[in-house]
Amino acid sequence: METKPKRHIAILGSTGSIGTQALEVVKANPNKFAIEVLTAQNNADLLIAQAQQFEPNCVVIANETLYEKVKNALADFPIKVYCGANAIADVVQMQDIDMVLTAMVGFSGLIPTINAIKAGKTIALANKETLVVAGDIITKLAYEKGVNILPVDSEHSAIFQCLAGEFHNPIEKIILTASGGPFRGKTISELTNITKNEALKHPNWAMGAKITIDSATLMNKGLEVIEAKWLFSLQKNQIDVIVHPQSIIHSIVQFQDGSMKAQMGLPDMKLPIQYALGYPSRIKSDFPRFNFLQYPNLSFTKPDTDTFINLKLAFEALDCGGNAACVLNAANEVAVEAFLTDKIKFLDIAKINEKTLSKVIFKNNCSINDYLETDKEARAIAMEYV
């Protein structure tokens, strides 16, 4: 039997929800994957435990005050230890890396992703904010470097899977499914006094705090609309969103002959993670299987964008182009953080996003520096509204 060389992987954000699940996939397939780099923001204890288990070439702790702790804990291992955001942006270029899984939260993924593409690494993209902020630059660079960007987001993985073998067939449109989050069907007055704990309880998916709040406000779906535009080169009118509370159909592609392909399965992030890590091979797994008879009623409704205006704002930002999506993302990161630290109410998140989007000066044909400046400016303005 032919044995393929192992795929060497860097996981940026290894202690988060996607990172830990990716390591489960790696652990279950030791003959297919090896871990080259692990990075974390603040969770030194888990990073140390992961490093001791997977013995990567190096680890990076972004929070520099935790460097000594990580360094000392790994002193007896042949593992290099670095710290700081710049180190993360550097290590992704290491020669032995085949694939970089970008699973950190928010804007911080931008520069490491750009560096990894420049170094020719395949990207398994879980950090959707990177494409939201600078999708034009990222996709152009990936095209020039011949680098694949493999989606890890379940909806985009679904579309990507539906497109297998359809290379020459144009997409008529895609339909992104949304669970609707924990507050589906609620009115504005019912949402006024939503608590943090209520918002952090997602009905179907177990995810990190930021994305769980984004799911509750429908911002996550808005960011995914923009992410889809860049991943699949689509126009605004080629992207639909439909609420599908069971999260079984993960998204749909409609082709020019009217035929639709959907990808489905139980909501489990390990599946799209594994598909990206193993692409183009499907790896045998023992993940629970979907049974139609347990779900006799799959349902679909229109999203309520009058109550959940974030989705509307995302389509506006997409239509606007330039730095608009970067503004929306920055405002949203500030607003979600403020909500998670009890500084604002649930409905204020979308209000801050809307006000910031209308306040920051619009710019077209942006460079990376323009995006970095826009991000800073939008954060400052959003902070004033907190």
In the complex, the residues that contact Mg ion under the rule CB under 5 A are 153-155
Dihedral angle of Cα 268, 293, 181, 328, to the nearest 10 degrees = 60
Nearer to Mg ion, 56 or 303 (CB): 303
Q: How far is the CB of 224 from Mg ion (least distance, A)?
A: 5
Q: How far is the CB of 318 from Mg ion (least distance, A)?
A: 17
In angstroms, give the least distance from the CB of 132 to Mg ion.
13
Of 155 and 377, the one with the shorter C-beta distance to Mg ion is 155
Nearer to Mg ion, 212 or 353 (CB): 212
Q: Are strands 99-102 and 122-125 parallel, antiparallel or unpaired?
A: parallel
Q: How far is the CB of 154 from Mg ion (least distance, A)?
A: 5
Shortest Å, Cβ 249 to Mg ion: 13
Pick from 360, 303, 311, 302: nearest CA to 331 = 360
Q: Which is nearer to Mg ion, 153 or 304 (CB)?
A: 153
When CB distances to Mg ion are compared, the closest residue is 153
Residue keyed to tokens 């002193």: 75
137-153 as b/e: b if 16+ CB within 10 A: bbbebbeeeebbbbbbb
Query: Between 73 and 269, whose beta carbon lies closer to Mg ion?
Result: 269
Shorter beta-carbon distance to Mg ion: residue 174 or 360: 174
Report the nearest approach of Mg ion to the CB of residue 153 (Å): 4
Place of tokens 């599946």: 271
Name every residue whose Cβ is closer than 8 Å to that of residue 166 and which is 6 or more positions away in sequence. Answer: 253, 255, 261
The least distance separating Mg ion from the CB of residue 334, rounded to whole angstroms, comes to 22
CA distance 54 to 8: 12
**Residue (of 194, 178, 184) closest to 339 by Cα position:** 194
Residue nearer to Mg ion on the CB measure, 155 or 354:
155
